[in-house]
Amino acid sequence: MNVQLTPRASHHAPRFPNKIREYRLKAGLSQRKLGALLGRGRNAISSWERGLTRPDVTLGVRLAKTLATLAESLYVSFYTPSRDDEPGNAKSA
């Protein structure tokens, strides 16, 4: 008997790829410490890292400065073109 698993619909916001955790760990910060530096709780940091929410623009800039990186590098998928968007890869009509 084959059992096929169906993904459950989530009530959370859609996930989006980010590198916040990677940069936080490189900086040697815990979620609690990073939250304290930004005036947010550990739960907010956890939610950002899991892709459930994201910081607003102003906080995103502060986050990047705190982690010694650029905001663009934290959210790779928003700034990395898909193969279809690259020059020379025009979609056929």
Within a domain: 57: yes
Task: Quote the number of domains for the chain.
Answer: 1
pLDDT digits (tens, 9 = 90+) for 63-73: 999 999 998 88
pLDDT digits (tens, 9 = 90+) for 6-46: 555 555 555 667 899 999 999 999 999 999 999 999 999 99
Residue 70 lies in a domain: yes
> The domain spanning residue 62 has which CATH number?
1.10.260.40
Task: Tell me, yes or no, whether 2 lies in a domain.
Answer: no
Report if residue 93 sits inside a domain.
Answer: no
> Does 83 have pLDDT greater than 90?
no
Domain that holds residue 34: 20-78
The verdict on residue 59 lying in a domain is yes
**pTM recorded for the entire structure:** 0.66
* Residue 10 is assigned to a structural domain of this protein: no
CA-to-CA distance for 67 and 60, rounded, in angstroms?
10
Is 87 contained in some domain?
A: no
